[in-house]
Amino acid sequence: MGINIVEKIDDLIKVRNLLLSVSDKSGLEGFIPRLLEINPDLKFLSTGGTYSRIKEILGKTAESCLSQVSDFTGQPETQGGLVKTLDFKIYLGLLTETYNDAHQTDLKRTGSIPIDMVIVNLYPFKETISKKDISIEQARGNIDIGGPCMVRAAAKNYLRVASVVDPDDYDHVIAEMKKNDGFISLKLRFRLAQKAFEHTAAYDRVVADFLGDTSYEDVKHCYKDNE
């Protein structure tokens, strides 16, 4: 199967559905209400601690606009949050194209929705390994999988999706949506995609360097010998 070549897109995309999963929750208390002021019909999908934080920020308003990813996908989170967002419906919502009839059919077939904005930042791996006496297992547990996948999918599809990885960009997003009646431009989506891939590349570099500096003997001695 060949690569799909996109020939038609929209410059301005209305933000209707957002997916949020952040380790750094700073700025959400101002960002979320301002988004709803611009578009009261916004729908939020979220997970774990981020879901709880948004629910706390919105109070009773959360009942009409906030859903857990597990309720949307029909798949409960696995123990320890091991798998939360790695789901077919989520990635259809991130990767589908507006003017691709086959993609639109897939959305209807699965009961999915186009996700217009992803607000994700990753498990604090660098901060974890900088702590004194951190174990290899504690470090391994802080290697983020779902976060980079969502960021990469959203950033790849900058033709339609805004990928927000830095709380410092919340004001830029709000300013543009306010200016454009709830829409985000291709120019901003592309700039956010550039930043998103820088974010995941830097994250992977830290993980790779840590593993590269870790000896097999240290790994072996970290776990119980089952032999």
The confidence score (pLDDT) of residue 189 equals: 98
Provide the pairing of β-strand 12-14 with 183-185. Answer: antiparallel
Torsion of CA 99, 101, 106, 107, to 10 degrees: 40
Return the structure tokens found at 110. 């699965």
Mean predicted confidence (pLDDT) in 139-149: 91
Q: Is residue 201 part of a domain?
A: yes
Express each pLDDT in 154-182 by its tens digit.
999 999 999 999 999 999 999 999 999 99
18 strand-pairing partners: 44, 117
Residue 26 CB partners (closer than 8 Å, separation 6+): 167
Average pLDDT, the chain: 92
**Among the listed residues 165, 173, 174, the one whose alpha carbon sits nearest the alpha carbon of residue 34:** 174
pLDDT of the residue at 84: 65
Checking if the pLDDT of 1 tops 90, the result is no
Q: Flag whether 206 is in a domain.
A: yes
* Residue 111 confidence (pLDDT): 93
Contacts of residue 10, defined as CB under 8 A and 6 or more positions apart, other chains included, come to 98, 160, 186
**Residue 21, domain member (yes or no):** yes
pLDDT at 132: 87
pLDDT-above-70 percentage for the chain:
93
Write down the pTM of the prediction.
Answer: 0.91
Q: Which two tokens stand for residue 161?
A: 């999706």
Q: Would residue 162 count as lying in a domain?
A: yes
Cβ 18 vs Cβ 69: under 8 Å? no
* 227 within a domain of the structure (yes/no): no
- Give me the pLDDT at residue 29, please: 98
User: SS3 helix, strand, coil % of the chain, rounded to 5?
Assistant: 55, 10, 35
pLDDT for 74 beyond 90? no
Question: Which CATH number covers residue 28?
Answer: 3.40.50.1380
> What is residue 23's DSSP assignment?
S
Q: Find out whether 79 and 50 touch, Cβ atoms under 8 Å.
A: no
Whether residue 63 has pLDDT greater than 90: yes
- 3-class secondary-structure state, position 130: coil
**What is the rounded distance in angstroms from the CA atom of residue 186 to the CA atom of residue 13?**
8
Q: Is the pLDDT of residue 226 over 70?
A: no
Residue 5 lies in a domain: no
Phi, psi angles (nearest 5°) of residue 66: -120, 130
Q: What is the pLDDT of residues 169-222, one digit of tens each?
A: 999 999 999 999 999 999 999 999 999 999 999 999 999 999 999 999 989 888
* Structural domain count of the chain: 1
Tens of pLDDT, residues 8-32: 999 999 999 999 999 999 999 999 9
**Cα-flanking dihedrals φ and ψ of residue 186, to 5°?**
-60, -35
Domain containing 153: what range?
12-222
